[in-house]
């Protein structure tokens, strides 16, 4: 019974994420614009905000991807213990943060406080074997390291779906 309730909760969260994503993508810059696939030969989709180029699934990564010309932001959504939709690829925080455990075992505030760039090393997603000094963005979220110019420590945490929608109004999301 508990397993079935958890499955239903995950299905409901995924359905809500799709509906929010559809709603967010239905706000075009101009009401008369044709769908992007009719007006462009190529569409640049930033997987997780630019997987391997920036810390996975962070606002920082998404901002950099859009600045580099991405048309669509792709992301995965998980549900926190207090039922907030969070941007996180895995069902745990182990590969991207210095913490461990299922996303569903943390509140949204706990997840947002985590350093989602903790294990970032360019071109090697979640490499945990580099020398400590190679993790140049580790500590930006916590204030131990200054953020790059134009960014804030919040850009390096685990974001909520609402954070993404509010940060990038009208942006196509997948």
CATH code at position 107? 3.20.20.190
35 in a structural domain:
no
Report, as an integer, the average pLDDT of 110-131. Answer: 92
Q: What is the pLDDT of residues 50-91, one digit of tens each?
A: 888 999 999 999 999 999 999 999 999 999 999 999 999 999
**What is the count of structural domains for the chain?**
1
Q: What is the pLDDT of residues 7-43, one digit of tens each?
A: 556 555 655 555 555 555 554 444 446 666 666 678 8
Tell me the residue range of the domain where 77 lies.
2-29+42-173
81 in a structural domain:
yes
165 in a structural domain:
yes
111 in a structural domain:
yes
Task: Supply the pLDDT for residue 123.
Answer: 87
34 in a structural domain:
no
Q: Which residue has the higher pLDDT, 29 or 146?
A: 146
Task: Supply the pLDDT for residue 15.
Answer: 57
3-class secondary structure for the chain? Answer: CHHHHHHHHHHHHHHHHHHHHHHHHCCCCCCCCCCHHHHCCCCCEEECCCECCECCCCHHHHHHHHHCCCCEEECCEEECCCCCEEECCCCECCCCCCCCCEHHHCCHHHHHHCCCCCCCECCECCCCCCCHHHCCCCCCCCCCCCCCCCCCHHHHCCCEHHHHHHHCCCCEEC
Residue 145 pLDDT more than 90?
Answer: yes
């Amino acid at each position: 019974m508990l397993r079935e309730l958890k499955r239903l909760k995950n299905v409901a969260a995924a359905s809500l994420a799709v509906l929010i994503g559809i709603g967010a993508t239905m706000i075009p810059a101009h009401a008369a614009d044709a769908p992007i696939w009719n007006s462009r030969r190529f569409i640049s989709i930033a997987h997780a905000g630019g997987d391997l180029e920036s810390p996975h699934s962070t606002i920082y990564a998404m901002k950099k991807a859009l600045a580099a010309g991405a048309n669509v932001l792709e992301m995965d959504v998980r549900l926190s213990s207090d039922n907030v939709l969070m941007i996180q690829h895995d069902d745990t925080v182990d590969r991207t943060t210095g913490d461990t455990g299922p996303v569903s075992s943390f509140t949204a505030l706990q997840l947002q406080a985590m350093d989602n760039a903790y294990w970032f090393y360019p071109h090697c997603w979640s490499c945990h074997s580099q020398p400590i000094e190679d993790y140049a963005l580790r500590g930006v979220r916590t204030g131990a390291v200054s953020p790059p110019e134009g960014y804030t420590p919040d850009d390096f945490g685990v974001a909520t779906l609402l954070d993404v929608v509010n940060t990038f109004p009208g942006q196509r999301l997948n």
